[in-house]
Structures are given as C-alpha cells and as structure tokens.
Homo-oligomer: A and B are copies of this chain.
Amino acid sequence: MNASESADPGLLALAEDFREALRHSIYLVRRLDADGELSAAQLSMLKMLLDAGRAAGGVRVGEIARNLGVKVPSATEQIIKLERAGLARREPDPDDSRAVRVTLTDAGLAAVASANERRNTVMAGVLSSLSDEDRAALAAALPVIGRINATLLA
C-alpha cells in the first residue's frame, strides 16, 4: 500500500467520525436495554425470528447465526435460553434431519412486541428534544447506515 493507493483524507475523517458515533451509541443501546427483562441479544434474536421466519416454517440455526453475526454454538446457546423461557420452539426440519427449525411462540411474539414498544417510547422521548432539521438529517442517514451494515454483513 503506497501513497497513491492510500485513502482520501476526507473519507478517513468521515470514517473516524462515524466510528466514534457508533462507539458512543453502544452505550446508548446499553442504557436502552438495561430496563427490560429481555437482554439485547435475546431481543435481537426474537426480532430476527419475527422477520425471517414469517413465511417459512421457522429459521435454521445456521441461518440465525449468520443473520446475527455470531457463530453457530452461540446461536444454539441463545435459542436454548429462549426455549426455556417459552419464547421460541425448536422443531426438526422435515426435509433435512440434520437441521433444526426455530420458530417464535405466541409468548415470544408478545414479548418482542412489548419490548420493542417500551424501547421505542424511550427513544422517541430522546428524539422529541431534537429540532425538525436534526430529525430530518437522522432520517435521511438511516438508509445509508442500513446499506453500510448490509455491506459488512454480506
């Protein structure tokens, strides 16, 4: 990597600022998650099961792990916890006896709904103190952040 290949300084500055914002946001998320009875990891998994498992008959463990950016044993561990809490169910895959399909129970559905609502209310309270311009700027950036996330998880 020589000088001609090195990145544009403006780009590096933006990268640094963005990383900084994310780094601080982690504490924001931690604060937001501290209240509920559902951990961040568990809520993430429930939400994922809601999104990805809607049409199909559940989501396979490997796919869950991939979607959440963790390894398969970590996914198994969380799934077992959710199962013990009555929020998710493990069923054999009819097409592949090696595989396991995970689905939300009704209780899981209710849990993700109420947890989301509580957290959204808190976050909305914070956002309500911003100016309209600030909110517009935030809204405009969210799809971009989504694209960045998609790029890195690909």
Contacts and interface: CB of A to CB of B under 8 A. Distances in A.
Interface stretch (A23-31, A82-90, A93-101): A23-31
Contacts of A14: 124, 127, 135, 138-139
- Identical copies in the complex: 2
A50 to B, nearest CB: 12
Interface in A113-146: 116, 119-121, 123-130, 134-135, 137-142, 144-146
A30 B69 contact: yes
A9 B146 CA distance: 21
A56 interface: no
A130 B146 contact: no
A72 B34 CA distance: 17
Contacts of A126: 15, 148, 151-152
Contacts of A38: none
A141 B116 CA distance: 23
Contact of A149 (B7, B25, B134): B25
Given A25-B145, A140-B140, 12 more contacts: A7-B121, A7-B124, A8-B124, A11-B128, A12-B124, A15-B123, A15-B126, A19-B120, A25-B149, A26-B26, A134-B144, A135-B144
